Structure 1
Amino acid sequence: MIFTGTYPPLSGVHDFAANKLNPTQATLASVLKDNGYATAAVIGSAVLDSRFGLNHGFDFYYDHFDFNRLQESNLDEMERPGNVVADVTLDWLSENYQKKFFLWMHLYDPHYPYHPPAPYSEQYKDRPYDGEIAFADAQVGRLIEFLKNKSLYRNTLIVLSGDHGESLGEHGEKTHGFFIYNATLHVPLIIHLPGGMHAKTVANPVNLADLMPTVLDALNIQIPAQVQGQSLLPLMSPKKEDNARSLYAETFLPRLHFNWSELRGVETETYHFIDAPKPELYDLRKDSGETHNLFAEKKAVAEEMRVRLAKLIQQYTAGQELAEKTGLDPALIERLKSLGYAGFSGGGNSGANSRTLPDPKDRIQTYELFSDAMADSQHGQYASSIEKLNTVLKTDPDSVPGHYLQGLNYYRTREFPKSVAELERVLQLSPDYALAAFQLGLAYDRVSNWDRAIQTLRRALELDSTNFSAAYDLGLSYLQKNMANEAAAAFRQSVTINDDYAPGHRALGELLLSQGQLDEALAELHKAAELSPEDASTHSALARALAAKGLTSEAEDEMRKAEQAPPQ
């Protein structure tokens, strides 16, 4: 929304894990780049890695997260501390401040778990979330100080905002994403216009989709036709226009991940209506904490708000969905779950009537217990995670994510028959859950059921043709059945999907070597060694291929590399 000025019904991005931004969609960065601006972004979290598409339009996009080396015990590498973000930001700005520039400094620190660095950890000992905010605020201060030192501050357009708040226990929600109350929807928005103007507070409700058209309007740049937000400049003018609006919000997390109802809402200056199996209506003037549901008392107001919401959904859906599949490594999706964004897409049933699904309000305790179990699992506390999931599954025995995560836990504790049972249950409940089919194929492999492994991994590839890991593991299962030709085809498929996948090239090279196809084997093994220069087994296989080719000196070099490679 922030960078496209569009709402999820148009962009098609309702959820983090399943889609990425289509490169054909105009973004604030791409429009400014087309208008002669140097564009840069410095990213504080892997959830905004360039593979999700937000790098579109940026000359410099500093993500640089090493997913390949990331281990579950080292989750902090998926985030970048705010001081490092500010360091890189100021380095880029030092080289580009004399140009017209557009710069995005992304600070991720105020996210759970809250561990502010010193001295904020002491100053906010009992309020660690506030400590994270204070630390992030200090990094913004460094940027502003730079602009002032370069005499740029007065004439620079600056926008400071968050993309969500944290519930911190309100309505039973610890963090964000599950509900659409103002505890998470209401975020700070501070705009500093070039040339300076007297400070003022604008109380009108606005939306993050308004930021792109506001920036372009302030710079006298034409706003793309697809933009659905509105410029906020009229609200900031001395003669402020009265602009009563209805604002849209949604969360599909309960639907897509748990097969509970999604939530959609509409908000005005007076009322907030949430469309749910048990609808909600709040008078924001009298009840800013949204604790007294007026739906039963004010049916006429609620119905009028429901009509407004329906019109907004129709309006914002007009057009072509612009999202596309990410094609991410399944292992990467698992790692991204540690940040609370990538979830268990496969739990939802798009064909079900949302009014017949459970209301998220009635599932918040189950959701929070599941979230705790997921955090335990990501930090290697599998016994604790298994115990919590047993409780979740007593409450919600058909929970797709519950059975899926339990299957992963048993896989990681090497209780493979239990893993098979849990993952089979997942596919009974959600037959098209591609990632579950992939994990079940791996579990079948571990119990030496090669036929079922082959069948299930082939199904995983039918469901997700971008899953190069599934193709690779399918090849390994074929080898267990001595089906060399089928294995070679599967390995070729893995590197066709992802030419940078070193294990696929190595496995194909070793198989070709065993079949005496030396030239092609050498090509594959050279590629694998180039992609994974510290892998001993790759250098060893390449040495054997070189020796078979009669290239003794080169073979000896590769054997030395194998011996010197760090242990894996």
Structure 2
Amino acid sequence: LADHGESFGEHGEKGHGLYLWNTTMNIPFVISPPKPLDQGIIVDQYAVSGVDVFPTALSMLGIVPPTSDGRDLSPLFQDKPIEDTPVYLESVLAQQRFGYHPEIATVYKGWKLIDTPSAHLLHLTEDPSELRNVFTENNTNITPLRAFGQQIWNTEGITSQVQQSSGVQAQLAALGYMSNDFATTSNLDIKDHQETVQRIEELRKRRPTEENPASLIPEYETIIAKEPQLSEVRMGLGALYAKLGQKEKALEVYQQALLLEPNSNMIKMNMANTLGGLKRFEEGLAILEDALEKVPTDVSLQSSYLKMLMDTKQVEKAILKGEAWVSQNPNPDIKALLGIALFRHKSIEQAMPLLLESLEDGIPREMVHETIANAFRIRGDIPKAIAFFQKEHERFPNPLLLGKIGSLHAQEKQWRKASTSFAGYFKAFPSQNAHRHSYAQVLFNIKEYAQAETVLKPLLNRESPTPRALLLQANIMAKTGRIEEGKVLFEKAKALRDRQSPQ
């Protein structure tokens, strides 16, 4: 059974999830019966649904299916007819992402009604590409199709059961499954706003790589002015402000988005992370804790919470939370963060299995390879430390890592490799003095004396240069024919070292 189809521009859709056209809704359902058929059967005269899978599977196992919403399709194996019943389709992404009316549809006996503000009635038998809307022709099929769809949409079944547990109800609301009221739903139809949706998608794709991110702000603001209900656009604008370092402005925009979608975990998470960036950790943690009360198993919320606990030095609390969550669901994201917390708590032996297990799915996770590298460095396994630092840098480029890699190569006397790594570090941080002496020493070792002297110069220009820097400069002078100058500097370095040495 396929999960969904894919649109490649049909009806203006690229991808899947927002609309209910057959390009994404009409999918293969292949059944292999217990007793092989003499010849395969293709059945296309019925509309079938995902709810039919369960009773069909039970019947194939010889189990009488209990009462369910679905049908047993196994009679089709014997070329027997089954009851033709309506099939209900729904996508709430239009509402959750953009504030538009959810997409609702019913398919029955070759007809399909998309019952939204811009309603479509389609005769699938005659118009399989769904190009001709016959809704305005007052077809007699509209009333029964609409009645069935609205009955499902407004059903009391799930809601009445959920009300027995306010905790479950809150979780479903936070996940977006409790908005089932036609009366309070937007009357804007996403099919009438495809140009806006396409602009939003284009902005979302441009935002990470745009050379001048600030140039996108007016485009976001234009869309918001036209359609103020679009919480997703405000989220994008907030992310843009955060990228530009305007965290207060980002927070303001996220707050506006949350007023539109008060149950959105994504908005809450972005708000919390922005508050963390403003060092308002208590507020950020409070938002995450509130969200986790409603949806305690949300891995993204759990991840943000663990990161913020570690940012606030609450490592022991992060470990307790992480261990509890991993015991309930061994998710690689939480394993990774728990491993990092344990490492920071100096529990390296406990941390390493979790960190290594988190890599098994091949998904890059920031800080994991770096933490493993630090563990190997502490253990004295320098080659493995170098390898894991390099993997971290490959996945999450960070010039600071090049300084660490250069130092480890130098420790292994791999001078050329050390030189390359240090060069990358100082290209990013030309005025930094960390690793400067090591880089100059490496250049000296590979006989790049002029470059070594240039790299070392800022350390010599200090008010109080170190004996080590003076000695290296003396050696450079000796190697470049300035022997007498080198001797003078050598004596100066020796005298300075003697004064600094404890008596």
Please list, as runs of the form range in 1=range in 2, the aligned pairs for 1:135-534 lying within 5 A after superposition.
162-189=2-29, 194-198=35-39, 201-209=42-50, 210-217=52-59, 219=60, 221-225=62-66, 227-238=68-79, 240-241=80-81, 243-298=83-138, 300-311=140-151, 317=157, 353-377=183-207, 383=213, 389-412=220-243, 414-450=245-281, 452-466=283-297, 467-476=301-310, 478-479=312-313, 488-489=316-317, 492-498=320-326, 501-504=335-338, 506-507=340-341, 510=344, 521-522=345-346, 524-532=347-355
Deviation of 1:274 (Å):
1.9
Q: Which runs of 5+ in 2 are unaligned?
A: 169-173, 328-333, 357-367, 393-503
CA 1:221/1:459 → structure 2, altered by over 3 Å: closer, same or farther? same
In structure 2, distance between residues paired with 1:295 and 1:453: 50
Kindly indicate whether the alpha-carbon contact (under 8 Å) linking 1:212 and 1:229 is maintained by their aligned counterparts in 2.
yes
CA 1:243/1:232 → structure 2, altered by over 3 Å: closer, same or farther? same
Identify the structure with the greater helix proportion.
2
CA 1:192/1:448 → structure 2, altered by over 3 Å: closer, same or farther? closer
Q: What is the percentage of aligned positions where both structures have the same residue?
A: 21
CA 1:286/1:465 → structure 2, altered by over 3 Å: closer, same or farther? closer
Q: Higher relative contact order by CA 8 Å / sep ≥ 6: 1 or 2?
A: 1
Deviation of 1:474 (Å):
3.5
Please list, as runs of the form range in 1=range in 2, the aligned pairs for 1:14-29 lying within 5 A after superposition.
none
SS of 2:136's equivalent in the other structure is coil
Kindly indicate whether the alpha-carbon contact (under 8 Å) linking 2:113 and 2:145 is maintained by their aligned counterparts in 1.
yes
In structure 1, distance between residues paired with 2:295 and 2:234: 21
In structure 2, distance between residues paired with 1:207 and 1:354: 30
RMSD: 4.2
Determine the structure 2 residue equivalent to 1:9.
none
Kindly indicate whether the alpha-carbon contact (under 8 Å) linking 1:407 and 1:418 is maintained by their aligned counterparts in 2.
yes
SS of 1:305's equivalent in the other structure is helix
Kindly indicate whether the alpha-carbon contact (under 8 Å) linking 1:168 and 1:175 is maintained by their aligned counterparts in 2.
yes
Paired residue type of 1:468: Q
Kindly indicate whether the alpha-carbon contact (under 8 Å) linking 2:99 and 2:186 is maintained by their aligned counterparts in 1.
no
Q: Which runs of 5+ in 1 are unaligned?
A: 3-161, 326-343, 480-485, 511-520, 544-554
In structure 1, distance between residues paired with 2:307 and 2:42: 58
Paired residue type of 1:373: L
CA 1:557/1:404 → structure 2, altered by over 3 Å: closer, same or farther? same
Paired residue type of 1:265: A
CA 1:473/1:541 → structure 2, altered by over 3 Å: closer, same or farther? same
CA 1:242/1:229 → structure 2, altered by over 3 Å: closer, same or farther? closer
Please list, as runs of the form range in 1=range in 2, the aligned pairs for 1:92-103 lying within 5 A after superposition.
none
SS of 2:121's equivalent in the other structure is strand
Deviations 1:507-541 (A, max 9, x none): 4664xxxxxxxxxx44x443223333675557758
SS of 1:248's equivalent in the other structure is strand
SS of 1:180's equivalent in the other structure is coil
Q: TM-score, normalised by structure 2?
A: 0.58
Determine the structure 1 residue equivalent to 2:400.
none
Deviation of 1:373 (Å):
3.1
In structure 2, distance between residues paired with 1:258 and 1:508: 41
Kindly indicate whether the alpha-carbon contact (under 8 Å) linking 1:280 and 1:295 is maintained by their aligned counterparts in 2.
yes
Deviation of 1:233 (Å):
3.8
CA 1:469/1:385 → structure 2, altered by over 3 Å: closer, same or farther? farther
Q: TM-score, normalised by structure 1?
A: 0.52
In structure 1, distance between residues paired with 2:13 and 2:211: 23
Please list, as runs of the form range in 1=range in 2, the aligned pairs for 1:48-59 lying within 5 A after superposition.
none
In structure 1, distance between residues paired with 2:202 and 2:388: 38
Paired residue type of 2:73: L
In structure 1, distance between residues paired with 2:120 and 2:145: 11
